[in-house]
Amino acid sequence: MLFTLFAVFLFEKTLGAVSPPIQVRVPQATAQATITAVSECQLHSSITQYCMAGATEFRISGDATATASSYTGCHAHAAETWCMAPTGEVQIILAAETAAATAPAATISATSASATSITAISECHLYESSIYCMASTAEYLVRTTVASTATATSDIPAAFTSCHQHDAEIYCVAPNGDDLPISPAGEAGSSTEETASASSGSEGMSCHFHAGVEHCVSAGSSESSSKRSCARVDRDYNIPLRIGLTFVMLATCSLGVFGPIFLGRFLRPNNLFFAMLKQFGTGVIISTAFVHLFTHAHLMFTNECLSEMKYEGTTAAILMAGIFLSFFVEYIGSRLVARHNQPPKEEVAAAAEEEGSALAAPTPRVELVKLYVLEAGIIFHSLLIGLTLVVSGDSFFLTLFAVIVFHQMFEGIALGTCIAALGRTPVKSLLGDAPVPPPTPTITMRKKLCMASAFAVVTPIGMAIGIGVLHQFNGNDPSTIITIGTLDALSAGILVWVGLVEMWAHDWVEPGGAMTNTSPVRTALGMTALVAGMVLMSLLGKWA
């Protein structure tokens, strides 16, 4: 008997010289009765190896210099369990006992129960930028960076298997062999949107919505720092708030567009305030075209959810198409009006002899054609604004709404001023010459109010449509992005033509314009109002 004990002691000392063991304690009864080998070994944290024996996980002792995929010949040495490795004998320890040494008892108890009840998670799906999977009726969050580059649920694993416990954490194995931590969805945060916002903030990201698509850029950079998910994002929307603010938008748009029309009934055509208001509206239209519409269209066509555009000048090309379309409509309309109103030949000859005759002034019908072009561009734009405002996430909705309210009010003032000037602005009276009776009013107040009403209701109509499709609209869908980008670029082209040619150049450069022969004070005030319209509307472009 003494000889046997001496032989065992000598054998242990000999093996210890080859591979120094780290002793770990496993209940002797369990080790002797159930453990003969451990397999499915994986290395974690580069220094610790874990292996499975059935549904139980063990940690390999030492610094994991032995990294075999399995260990056999497991046997007990007193209260310890040893297994055979290619390099010698190693000791193993029950993972739950390791957790007990580093975590509170209550935490270990709950985690152990979870680990023993979960062997795999499946039905994995992508929600915003996170992967969620199901284990029976419970949902778990997979903490991985894979979701940040996934564009659809098909890009992520369908299931994770061999779930086990490491210390106080639960891990599952991905198809590529990665061991990833999981946690109950309720512990991951109250909402994925809040998690995404916090993540963005911690990484110095600045996020805002353009046309219903959340656009994030690095602080101080105009380029997106990471590829976002292009799947439809499910959010909790405050629908009653959106319905109530639809009426606020209606009131604001009405105030902006009807105000100048009613004000014009009490002011002379060449009134200083009315003239400044018109120049302010010109600045608003020009800024809307370039800072808002053209920029939004460019963001759409460079969106990460679209494959790279083969033609880099797509946005500018559509802008030019909008300019040409505006020119063509005005040209054809002017020709038709001129043919319909062709005066007798003797009147034309008499007018040619008298320079500066009132026949040279644009007729109200020609001005009406130009105004129709302007309103068409504004209405396309306003409809999109209403739709995409509503589908923005709640975290940005109120800020975006406040900006859009001012945006639409300024745009309403610009359009209302142009409508108010129809059929009542004599050319010579603005030049300081003898007053000339205004042309016979062919544009009735009723028609002006109808034109203004179209603008007043179009943004609320867009918001109502957005509320109706709130849970189906996908701002990341390529067809939606292309549609919005095309309409924005076309509208930009229309407003570029109207703002630069029919408003700015017409008033300041063309002979007989409202600002070509004014006093220095009136000229300075008009220039100030023009720049103020551009600056204020461009400032709003920071948020909308």
The answer to whether residue 358 sits within a structural domain is no
- What percent of the chain stands above pLDDT 70? 68
CA of residue 488 relative to chain centroid, distance: 16
On whether both 153 and 44 belong to a single domain, the answer is: no
Q: Domain ends where: 94, 114, 138?
A: 94
Could you tell me how many residues make up the chain? 544
How far is Cα 304 from Cα 213, in angstroms, rounded to an integer? 11
Query: Which pLDDT band, with edges at 50, 70 and 90, does 452 fall under?
Result: very high
Specify the pLDDT at position 103. 44
The answer to whether residue 315 sits within a structural domain is yes
On whether both 36 and 153 belong to a single domain, the answer is: no
Query: Which pLDDT band, with edges at 50, 70 and 90, does 212 fall under?
Result: low
On whether both 426 and 521 belong to a single domain, the answer is: yes
Residue with tokens 């309403």: 412
The answer to whether residue 354 sits within a structural domain is no
Specify the pLDDT at position 431. 38
**pLDDT tens digits, 219-275:** 444 444 445 567 776 777 889 999 999 999 999 999 999 999 998 888 776 788 888
Q: Domain ends where: 157, 188, 219?
A: 188
The least confident of 6-15, 19-28, 178-187, 390-399 is 19-28
Amino acid occupying residue 53:
A
* Mean local confidence (pLDDT), 432-451: 65
On whether both 532 and 480 belong to a single domain, the answer is: yes
On whether both 158 and 265 belong to a single domain, the answer is: no
Residue 349 in this model has a pLDDT that exceeds 60: no
On whether both 265 and 164 belong to a single domain, the answer is: no
Specify the pLDDT at position 138. 80
Higher-scoring residue by pLDDT: 165, 349? 165
Higher-scoring residue by pLDDT: 538, 268? 538
The answer to whether residue 116 sits within a structural domain is yes
Amino acid occupying residue 159:
A
In terms of C-beta density within 10 A (0-12 exposed, 13-18 middle, 19 or more buried), how is residue 307 classed?
exposed
Specify the pLDDT at position 120. 86
* Mean local confidence (pLDDT), 88-117: 55
CA atoms within 13 A on the CB side of 440: 2
Query: Which pLDDT band, with edges at 50, 70 and 90, does 449 fall under?
Result: very high
The answer to whether residue 203 sits within a structural domain is no
The answer to whether residue 39 sits within a structural domain is yes
How far is Cα 510 from Cα 502, in angstroms, rounded to an integer? 10
Residue pair 138/184 in contact by the 8 Å Cβ criterion: yes
The least confident of 138-152, 238-252, 431-445 is 431-445
Query: Which pLDDT band, with edges at 50, 70 and 90, does 167 fall under?
Result: low
Kindly give the pairing relationship between strand 88-94 and strand 56-60.
Answer: antiparallel
* Mean local confidence (pLDDT), 137-152: 67
Q: Tell me the pLDDT of the chain averaged across its residues.
A: 75
On whether both 68 and 115 belong to a single domain, the answer is: no
Higher-scoring residue by pLDDT: 238, 165? 238
Q: Domain ends where: 141, 159, 188?
A: 188
Query: Which pLDDT band, with edges at 50, 70 and 90, does 340 fall under?
Result: confident
Residue 15 in this model has a pLDDT that exceeds 60: no
The least confident of 22-26, 98-102, 301-305, 500-504 is 22-26
Give the torsion through C-alpha atoms of 491, 212, 401, 148, to 10 deg. -140
The answer to whether residue 1 sits within a structural domain is no
Question: Shortest CA distance to 297 belongs to which of 282, 309, 285, 279?
Answer: 309
On whether both 184 and 267 belong to a single domain, the answer is: no
Query: Among the ranges 42-51, 249-258, 345-354, which has the highest mean pLDDT value?
Result: 249-258
Query: Which pLDDT band, with edges at 50, 70 and 90, does 151 fall under?
Result: low
Residue 417 in this model has a pLDDT that exceeds 50: yes
Specify the pLDDT at position 145. 59
* Mean local confidence (pLDDT), 67-84: 78
Residue 393 in this model has a pLDDT that exceeds 70: yes
* Mean local confidence (pLDDT), 64-78: 72
The answer to whether residue 319 sits within a structural domain is yes
Residues with Cβ within 8 Å of residue 122, at least 6 apart in sequence: 133, 134, 135, 158, 159, 160
On whether both 63 and 114 belong to a single domain, the answer is: no
Residue 288 in this model has a pLDDT that exceeds 50: yes
On whether both 78 and 182 belong to a single domain, the answer is: no
Specify the pLDDT at position 214. 58
- Domain encompassing residue 262: 250-341+364-540
Q: Which of helix, strand or coil describes residue 44?
A: strand
- Number of structural domains in the chain: 3
On whether both 395 and 424 belong to a single domain, the answer is: yes
CA of residue 209 relative to chain centroid, distance: 4
Residues with Cβ within 8 Å of residue 144, at least 6 apart in sequence: 131, 174, 178, 180
How far is Cα 240 from Cα 470, in angstroms, rounded to an integer? 13
On whether both 131 and 261 belong to a single domain, the answer is: no
Specify the pLDDT at position 326. 93
How far is Cα 172 from Cα 178, in angstroms, rounded to an integer? 8
